[in-house]
Structure 1
Amino acid sequence: MSRLMFYIIVGLLMVVGIATSVQRHVQFEIPWLPGEQRQVWEIEAGINFTAQGGPVQVDLALPSHQAGYRVLTENTASSGYGLAYQADELGRTARWTIREAAGSQTLYYSVQMLVSDDARSPAQTPPDVVTTPWERPYDTAASQLIEQAWARSANNATFARELIRDINGERQEENARLLLSQENPAALVVRLLNQAGVQAREISGLLLEDGRRRQTLSSWIQVFDESGEEWAIFHPLTGEQGKPDNLLLWETGGRAVLEVQGGTNSRVTFSMMTHDQPASAAVRNHYSEDTLLNFSIHSLPLEEQALFQTILLIPIGALMVVFLRVLVGIKTSGTFMPVLIALAFIQTSLPTGLIGFLLIVAVGLIIRNYLSYLNLLLVARVSAVIITVIAIISIFTVLAYRMGLSAGLTITFFPMIILAWTIERMSILWEEEGPKQVLIQGGGSLITAILAYLAMNNPWVRHITFNFLGVQLILMALILLLGNYTGYRLLELRRFKPITDDEKPS
């Protein structure tokens, strides 16, 4: 029963670790491999108006997460103005306010949009059907247009398509031309759709083209189906259904894009450009919205992120130690001392770390050998070794600096307490079992530290452990499985070599 519970725990760790990692990859688009690039659009909206010398309030509709695009960052430049972001069921807006302003005014809003195939539009509330009565003879023309398009349609989407073609297409007749004298094409289509009981509204979008300046928004028509849950977008002039890949929906609530109180001659223009940036940097800005299910180290300050980037590598080193000790049979001086030495190698680089480690241990053993003649107590002896290690590291660092070897300065990253205990253990081992065992365990520790360093310093491993915390659960499951192994180690198989030699035919 206990064995069954053990495998259930291991299985749960595996499943949860894999599931959380896949969830982060799918939901947040964190790549499995480092170095992947993502396309990002930088869009700047410039608002110009003439203030009349009194209080001013400016409202600008803002884009939101939507199909194909996701908001990364947004900034404003508005000297002297107060700023507040607001959101409701119709969308997001930025509101600038100032107590007194006069003359020409310019405000800027910039946003970075990540091109994302997995991004989805939020649920939208269908607009109310608003019917505005027509005066004669426009009422008759509107009724005839609605009847003709309705007869050729099967649902709200096809009705909207036929209506647009009747108004702006080759089938345009006198009725359409008469009504176009009262409304622009997009507003006319929406008005006729509402008159027929169809939920529809005019929305604004920006066609993205790299390097374009002083662009304006274009009008599109959003039509909801009979249930009010699904919607489709139509071009108000051609009647083409569907959202172009380069169309960024800027305002989808059916309200004005720009409203200025206390100013005249207001307008907003857009400039845009695109560039590629690493995927990890592109998605990092989402983490401020994370819930507990979307927990991420990226929500911490950068200093703490750098610390955890190293800490999260330790389980990889622990897995290497368990594998080499349990399956291979390598002996080490101390259980997880090689992991800490491997961490020091990451900071110093492997060649510098190896040289520094060998020098410190060699000199430390010589000094420790002298201390053994003083018959000190264990605590005092280890304390003396710690001070000796600190002195050795200090001397080597100063000498490296004097000789112009800047790499030698990183030797201070070695764990001094661990080195002191390593020297103490090796010295005792030398006295009890001889130099051969010192070389075996010291060499095993060094080999294990090098292999752990190679595993921990791999760019893919660093990327996976830092961005997918579920990997820690997978590593835990693997270590538990290795800890359950009771068979022969690989290095122990050589004991059976004489038997196999005897069984060979002569």
Structure 2
Amino acid sequence: MSRLPFYLVVALLFLVGIGMSVHRHIEFEVPWLPGEQRQVWEIEAQVNFIADGGPASVDLALPSTQEGYRVLTEHTASPGYGLHFADDKRGRRAQWATRDAEGSQQLFYSAQVIVAPQATSIEQEAPQAMTAAVVWEPPYDTAAAAVIERAWSQSADDISFTRELIQNFNADRLSENTRLLLTQFDRVPLLVRLLNQAGVAAREVSALPLEHGRRRQPLTTWIQVYHDDSRTLFNPESGAMGKPDNLLLWENNGQSVLEVEGGSQSRVNFSMLSRNQPAKAAVRAQQAAGSDTLLNFSIHSLPLEEQALFQTILLLPVGALVVVLLRVLIGVKTSGTFMPVLIALAFIQTSLLTGVIGFLLVVAVGLVIRNYLSYLNLLLVARVSAVIVTVIAIIAVFSVLAYRFGLNAGLQITFFPMIILAWTIERMSILWEEEGPKEVLIQGGGSLLTAVLAYLAMNNPMIRYITFNFIGVQLILMGLILMLGNYTGYRLLELRRFKPVTED
């Protein structure tokens, strides 16, 4: 029979598992290692204005995910105000409203913004450069035309034209025409008007330079130029092209940052702090904010109680892989196929030393009591039920004794799977009667060894982190188990049977 379908299935599991993990790492910035750190900025915007004594409304532009930064969480503090978050063609905005406001008013907006090199901003519609709509009064029309003509002759495209135009407004290159225009217009709105008249799509954007520990900082104004389906940011003072690493675009739709109705003397200031936090905490905050998609399948979207449950459940395939390796390749005998995995889970709850001692004590005492039950000639179901009750009694007695002697670690013995222990004792007792104590020691020792190795693998911080954060790893483990299940060669421990042949 052809094995091609089998290998295709295994290859598909590997490809899908690796693809899901790599996609989650690149697209959603989930780190491969648990100790990685991410830089997070805590930014607070404080809105101040003087209310007129009646209804008041405040409209504040909000930052959105963009190149280099992703918004994690956001909060507001606005006693007495209703709040609404709007997201439309004007961009993301916070809108406060109240029926009665009088005197000095303060509203607060705070956000956690993570430095994310892979983050991208939402595509925006480019502004239209309407030459006919730009109207100048004499003599400013002649001066504007001359300034545009000078920069146009020294450039080759929209980008170089913008750079030359800005540099012509520097102090060392000012002409009579630029001086005339600056007496009537502010620098940045003037540059945008000149660019639009020249047929270049451009607009003002407001940005926040990020500096650790800064307080009461205003926004700075930049010029964004659209050329060949791309956006380029320019510093209106120096003409430098490109977005600095520490610049957060706060409003990039060409709209006002703050609008206040029913008040005067409005202003907004910003304070910021930078700190590092574990990358997994940042990812958890991002998932909690509702960024999950089908491709970003994550346990983080579940409630915390279910997350803790799945963190343990997702370790079971790792323990199963250890069992398959030891039984198929090495040939270790165990009492029950996957009983060691459940015992390893108990070791995770109790710690290794406490778990091993508790396992040995329960099984040893259980075998003695099971030996007595064999003389009663009970039916199988009744006998196993009696063993279950016996195991529960043994665990209860050991827990009470441990508490009386001040051994708090002994109380954790209750995490052992009682039904599995009962069946283990039953199997070992039957094995003792049929094949003797030697085989009991071999299988019991193999079960304990497998449980310890499975515990070491499942309790490894790196493995726990990867299995919890990358669901695709489960498919990879499935592929490995299928490959091992296809092995039909000799086990490592069976090679000793052929040692006399090699000696001859």
Q: Shorter-chain-normalised TM-score: which range?
A: over 0.9
One-letter amino acid of the counterpart of residue 150, structure 2: Q
- Describe the superposition over 1:271-315 as per-residue Cα deviations: whole angstroms up to 9, x where unpaired: 001010001111223322221111110000111111100000000
> 1:171-202 CA distances to partner (integer Å, 9 max, x unpaired)?
11121111112221111100111111111000
| Corresponding residue number in structure 2 for 1:143 | 145
Contact 1:322 1:482 in 2 (8 A): yes
Of residues 497, 500, 503, the one that matches 1:498 is: 500
Matched, 1:274 2:274: yes
Mapped partners of 1:289, 1:147: distance in 2: 49
Give the match for residue 284 of structure 1: 284
For 1:87 and 1:419, the matched residues in 2 are separated by 58
CA distance in 1, matches of 2:492, 2:80: 73
**Structure-2 separation of matches of 1:265 and 1:399:** 74
Q: Where in structure 2 are the equivalents of 1:282-431 lying within 5 Å?
A: 282-287=282-287, 288-431=290-433
Aligned partner of 2:184 in structure 1 is: 182
Q: Deviations over 1:6-47 (max 9, x none)?
A: 111011001111111111111111111111111111110011
Distance in 2 (CA, whole Å) between partners of 1:421 and 1:119 is 54
- More divergent stretch after superposition (263-272 vs 114-123): 114-123
- In structure 2, the residue corresponding to 1:475 is in which secondary structure? helix
| 2: CA distance, partners of 1:39 / 1:447 | 43
Aligned: 1:236 with 2:236? yes
Q: Which residue in the other structure is 2:29 paired with?
A: 29
TM-score by length of 1: 0.97
8 Å Cα contact 1:385/1:420 also seen in 2: yes
Which structure 2 residues correspond to residues 238-277 of structure 1 after superposition, within 5 A? 238-277=238-277
Aligned to 2:47: 47
**Aligned counterparts of 1:399 and 1:71: Cα–Cα separation in 2:** 54
Q: CA deviation at 1:338?
A: 0.2
Alignment of 1:116-265 (within 5 A): 116-130=116-130, 131-225=133-227, 227=228, 229-265=229-265
Q: Which residue type is aligned with residue 296 of structure 1?
A: S
Q: Percent identity?
A: 71
8 Å Cα contact 1:90/1:125 also seen in 2: no
Q: Distance in 2 between matches of 1:132 and 1:53?
A: 39
CA distance in 2, matches of 1:373, 1:80: 80
Looking at structure 2, the residues matched to 79 and 393 of structure 1 have their Cα atoms a distance apart, in angstroms, of 56
SS state at 2:169 partner: helix
Work out the CA distance in 1 between the residues paired with 2:55 and 2:382.
77
Q: Which runs of 5+ in 2 are unaligned?
A: none
By how many angstroms is 1:351 displaced?
A: 0.3
Specify the SS of the correspondent of 2:487.
coil
Aligned-residue Cα RMSD (Å) equals: 1.1
2:7 corresponds in structure 1 to 7
Q: What is the SS of the residue equivalent to 1:197? A: coil
Output the CA distance in 2 between the equivalents of 1:127 and 1:333.
73
Give the CA deviation at 1:167: 1.9
Provide the rounded CA distance (Å) in 2 between the counterparts of 1:137 and 1:11: 74
Contact 1:333 1:422 in 2 (8 A): yes
Question: Does the 8 Å CA contact 1:328/1:490 hold for their aligned counterparts?
Answer: yes
The 2-side partners of 1:398 and 1:102 are apart by 68
Note the C-alpha offset of 1:454: 0.5
Residue identity matched to 2:126: P
Per-residue deviation at 1:89?
Answer: 3.2
Matches of 2:109 and 2:502, distance apart in 1 = 79
Q: What runs of 5+ residues in structure 1 fail to find an aligned partner?
A: none
1:169 Cα deviation after fit: 4.1
Name the TM-score, length of structure 2 as normaliser. 0.98
**Aligned letter for 1:12?**
L
- Give, in angstroms, the shift of residue 58 of structure 1: 0.9
Moved more, 77-86 or 40-49: 77-86
Q: Whole-Å Cα distance in 1 between the matches of residues 17 and 364 of structure 2?
A: 43
Deviation sequence 1:136-168 (CA, Å, 0-9, x none): 111111111111111111111111111111123
Aligned counterparts of 2:297 and 2:2: Cα–Cα separation in 1: 33
User: Distance in 2 between the 1:454 and 1:35 partners?
Assistant: 19
Aligned mates of 1:185, 1:409 — CA distance in 2:
75
* TM superposition shift of 1:399: 1.4
Distance 1:214 1:403 in 2: 61
Q: CA deviation at 1:77?
A: 1.0
Q: CA deviation at 1:121?
A: 2.3
Are the equivalent residues in 2 in contact too, given 1:153–1:159 (CA < 8 A)? yes
Q: Distance in 2 between matches of 1:134 and 1:387?
A: 96
CA distance in 1, matches of 2:360, 2:292: 46
Q: Deviations over 1:60-97 (max 9, x none)?
A: 11111111111111111111211111112342111111
Distance in structure 1 (CA, Å) of the matches to 2:393 and 2:472: 42
Number of aligned residue pairs: give it. 500
Measure, in 1, the Cα distance between the counterparts of 2:89 and 2:338: 56
- Quote the Cα distance in structure 1 between the aligned partners of 2:385 and 2:263: 77
Q: Which moved more, 1:115-124 or 1:267-276?
A: 115-124
SS at match of 2:64: coil
What amino acid maps onto 1:133 in structure 2? V
